[in-house]
Copies of this chain bind each other. A is one copy, B any other.
Amino acid sequence: MEQPGTPDFDYYPCDHKINHVEYTSHALTLIWSDQRTSQYHACWLADNDAGSAVTNTLTREREIDFVDMPGDIGIQQASVSDDGTLNIAWTADWPESRFLPGWLRAHDYSNDPMPDDGLRQATTWNINDLTEPPTTDGTEILRDDDVLEAWLDNLAQYGLARLANVAPDDGMVADVVRRIGPIRPTNFGFTYDVKTKANPDSNAYTDMALDSHTDLATREYQPGLQFLHCLKNSTTGGAGTMVDGFKVAEDIRVENPGVFEILSTWDWTFTNRARETDYRWVTPLIILDRDGQLSELRMTAFLRGPLAMPFDRTEKAYAAYHYLVEKIREPQYRLRFDYRPGDLVAYDNRRILHGREAFSSGEGERWLQGCYSERDELRSRLRILARNRRAAIIGTK
């Protein structure tokens, strides 16, 4: 049972009451039992009305856009009912609205214009911080939500998290990832087998070492998440390596701002080289968001296409690239681990650079099975797991 009076399917337990309401036609102020003051605009309240005049009660999606409400809508009267909800009568010809205090408190943009959604914040690391992938026992991963949440919490925070003892069965990685959300298929398939192949269509399918890289840098969207499940490993060598690309980029930004500027603004080309597909993408190697924060790294030496920069930038660009690669290779950044059958490693492919050491394919068998998904699915699943806990609180009140 969802709570009535909210425009979504979530739960909003609240330890505080609305003690006092003040309003003008344009805005409303609440004073809470803990003395906190919250303000809301009339237009914002009208826009977020959970009632059937605005919100479809089946889909909980908005039926009437704000633009189609009376242009002169304003607060005529506001009061708190005995059950604690806020009731608003409007100046225009428009049905009354009611708002749950817990929902209002959770969306108090006057005090916090970027409310915390409860997900773990990313923390960058090198091998002084992490000496092995954060690990959760995965025996019960298909059944136990606590195991799922512990694993995903690590993935949200470190961009890297391992499950141990996941049944080493063909197809198991897909079953595990479906616990989070849909898999993202690519030209390499729905899932893919990382084994040596007679006629490889990627260096990944040989026994050579792979330098630290992101996957599918050739695409408009690099997959947000990658999963590798070890089914068999009796070869020598082939250790996995992980580098927190955000940590490397942060350090370059401090140590060599000129190189950082080049790496984060000049465009490189990535191209795949295949018989049936021809993906290309042009992008800086370090991608910042509009606020200058690290958003993504693109780094796959074996998929770099011919550099196509203005002529006089070319040598400088190669020098910056050289600097970046040497930095990524510094041992302080490289977390190294063995793949044991049953290990399932997940990482943020837009932040973490993964690689492997060479192995001897003549001596034994090595079989990793992998797939991709998106960071959206990780965040959605963590929010739903938290929502389920809130539902339990509401249910017992």
Chain A interface (Cβ within 8 Å of chain B)? 7-10, 26, 39, 41, 43-44, 47-48, 56, 58-63, 65-67, 107, 109-110, 112-115, 117, 181-187, 199-203, 205-206, 208, 211, 218-221, 224, 265, 271, 273-282, 290, 301-304, 306-311, 314-315, 318, 321-322, 325-326, 374-376, 379-380, 383-384, 387
Contact = CB atoms under 8 A, between A and B. Distances in A.
Contact of A47 (B185, B206, B282, B318): B318
Main secondary structure of the interface of A (DSSP, over half): loop
Nearest to A283: B290
Given A7-B273, A181-B277, A39 B311 contact: yes
Copy number in this complex?
2
B302 A9 contact: no
Nearest to A108: B308
**Pairs of residues from A and B, 3 with the lowest C-beta to C-beta distance, nearest first:** A278-B383, A60-B273, A61-B302
Contact of A43 (B221, B278, B318, B379): B318
Given A321-B66, A380-B278, A314 B109 contact: yes
Contacts of A281: 376
Contacts of A265: 290
B306 A43 contact: no
29 contacts: A9-B273, A10-B278, A26-B315, A44-B306, A47-B304, A59-B200, A59-B201, A59-B302, A61-B302, A62-B302, A62-B303, A63-B203, A63-B208, A65-B301, A67-B301, A107-B306, A109-B306, A109-B308, A109-B309, A182-B186, A183-B185, A185-B185, A218-B376, A220-B224, A276-B384, A278-B379, A279-B376, A280-B383, A281-B376
